Structures are given as structure tokens and as C-alpha cells.
Structure 1
Amino acid sequence: MADQLDKISDQLKDEQGRNFDSPPLHLWNPALSGDIPIRIAADGTWYHQGDPIIRESLRNLFASILRREDDGEYYLVTPAEKWRIQVELHPLLVTDVEPREDTLLLTLNTGRTLTVSEDHALFLEPRVENVAAVNLWHGLTALFSRSAWYRLVGLSNDHGVVSSGSFRLQLR
């Protein structure tokens, strides 16, 4: 099965052999290749065949080609293959939140950052006691880690939290 992971990784290299930073998933529509034994646990840990994926670079690479489709399922997608994986709650985690002028900058467990906005809206996740989560790209979402959630709550006021001048979420 490690060969299968290497094969997927090899498909994501450009002409110089470097991995894409943000692959054009919207352009890739291969037929379903099947299920692959990758599971993302509710705590954000990625597993392959029951063992944690400990190489952050590999996990981040797979996260860059992950999308959720209209059927509600999660897939790792390359130009030639599409593999269904299991996600217990949310595929990614928000690990930090930082106020920047009139916006909130979020950092994910993959190292990517984004600004809370209408496109990347916060919502409360009822399956985990209304902890905040955020909508991402390609149908993905990220749940706030405990420390990021506490920081977000600390940044809120009577009006909730505001980002990008207009996006607002009431936390209390």
C-alpha cells in the first residue's frame, strides 16, 4: 500500500519534480479508483492502514488534493485517480487565530493560512458542543482546536467576532 501512496505523490509533481502548492482540483475529474484505507480522525490525526501518518509533508500533500463532493464523501484527487477516504468529523483543524487590523487570520494544521470572510465563513459545530469551524475551499471544513477556540472566544465581544468588515458570528 505504501507504493500506492508514492504513486499518488508522484502524480502531483510539476515538470521540475516539485509538488504543487495548490493543485487545480477543480480541473481534475477522473473516475473513482476505489477506496483507500486513509482515515482522518476527529482530532485531526491522519491514519493509513490504521497507523498514523507521521510525515507532515505527506499529510500536507494529501490535504492539498482533498475535496468533498456533492455526495458528502471525501476524495483524494489527482489528474488520473480519485480515491475515497474516511473523515470522522472535519478533515482539517484551525490551530491558531490572530487578529489583523479588521480581519481574523486563521492558521490550519497544514500550515496554510486564510482570512475569515464570506467565502471562508465561521459556523458553530453542534456535534462538538458548538465549537467554531470554518468553511474552506473544495467543500472542506476545519474545526478549531481547543487553544484556537479559546483564543477566538477571547477575541469576541458582545457583538461576537467580526472579520473583513462585514462577516460576523455570535459566540455567546
Structure 2
Amino acid sequence: MATNIEGIAAQVEGGRNFDSPPLERWHPPLSGDIAIRITADGTWYHDGDPIRRESLRNLFASILRREQDGEYYLVTPVEKWRIEVELHPLIVVDVEQAGDSLELTLNTGKRVAVGQEHPLFLESRLDNVAAVELWHGLCAVFSRSAWYRLVEMADLDGNLCSGDFRLNLLGRA
């Protein structure tokens, strides 16, 4: 299995663009389980050791999807490997007001605009900390610092309104 991981890393270092691979068009059969686990704090592990290379973690994040069965898979045009995810695979590390919208920065460096395509929700499994729906069935939960920044943006009643969305951070309707 290490050979496959090293091969993927070599592709990333080769300058290929893995920002938005067309995962929706890739439907290979299940290749099996791979010993990759993502903990609730967003740390990625392979065979029990943290994946320290950001380029490798970001590559894996770019080919990750959650399917109808609730499982997470790393997908290429010819392979599909099931991995373990404790809560959500990605973390929101920063949030900022950008005109009439909110811009989120993920732990992979990707930026996401909150809106209909990427709505916020409160994650009940984490004491109602905010999270955001992403692409390919993925979600990202807010880090503590990003959560505090988001709370500071809300009004006194806990309402956060921006652009085409509204969320009550206190869990009220």
C-alpha cells in the first residue's frame, strides 16, 4: 500500500492540478479498505502515523467523497478505497466577511463561499458548533478559532445573516 501512496505523492509534486477532479464521473468498483483515518480534529493518519505532508493530505482531500452508504472513499478513475472518518474530514480554519457573503478557508487552503450551494448548519454531535456542507457529500466543521470569529459576526440574538442565508447560532428557529 505504501507504494500507491508514494505514487500519488509523486503525481502531486509533478505539478498536476488536483483542485477539482471530476469525482462525479468516476465510478470504479471498490478496491478495498485502506488504513487511512481522519480524526475529529482533522488529523489524517496512515497506518497509525500522522500524514505530515500537506501536499499529500490535500491530494487525498481532493479525491475524497462520501457516498449514499455514508462511507468515505478515496476515488480515482480506476480505484476506490474506503477510509475511516470519525466526524467530518475537513476543518474550517478561518472565516471572514467578504461584502455581503462569508468566505471560509479550509485546512486544505481551499476557500468556500457560504450560500445555497454551501450552507452552514449546526453540528449536534459537537455541541452545535457550526459546520458547512461542501462538494461530493463532504462537510467541514469549524475550528475553535473560526467558530469564535463566526459567533462574533452574529447579532445579540445569535442570528447570522449574510447574502442568501440565515442561521441562528443558538439553535433557535
TM-score, normalization by structure 2: 0.92
Q: Which SS does the other structure have where 2:137 is aligned?
A: coil
In the alignment, what sits opposite 2:140? 142
Alpha-carbon distance, 1:141 to partner: 0.2
Structure 1 residue 123 displacement after superposition: 0.5
The alignment partner of 2:135 has SS state of coil
What is the one-letter code of the residue matched to 2:45? Y
Runs of 4+ in 1 over 6 A off after TM superposition: none
Q: Which runs of 5+ in 2 are unaligned?
A: none
The within-5 A match list for 1:93-112 is 93-112=91-110
Task: Measure the CA separation in 1 of the matches of 2:53 and 2:6.
Answer: 13
2:75 matched residue in structure 1: 77
Aligned to 1:6: 6
Partner amino acid, structure 2, of 1:161:
L
Q: Which residue of 1 aligns with 2:36?
A: 38
Q: Is structure 2 residue 168 aligned with structure 1 residue 170?
A: yes
Residue in structure 1 matched with residue 160 of structure 2 by the alignment? 161
Aligned position for 1:66? 64
Distance in 1 between the 2:153 and 2:142 partners?
A: 14
Q: 1:99 to 1:17 in 2, by over 3 A?
A: closer
**Percent of residue pairs bearing the same amino acid type:** 68
Q: What residue identity is the alignment partner of 1:101?
A: G
How many Å apart are 1:22 and its aligned residue? 1.1
How far did residue 4 of structure 1 move? 1.9
Secondary structure of the 1:79 match is: coil
Q: Which amino acid aligns with 2:4?
A: Q
Q: CA RMSD in A?
A: 1.5
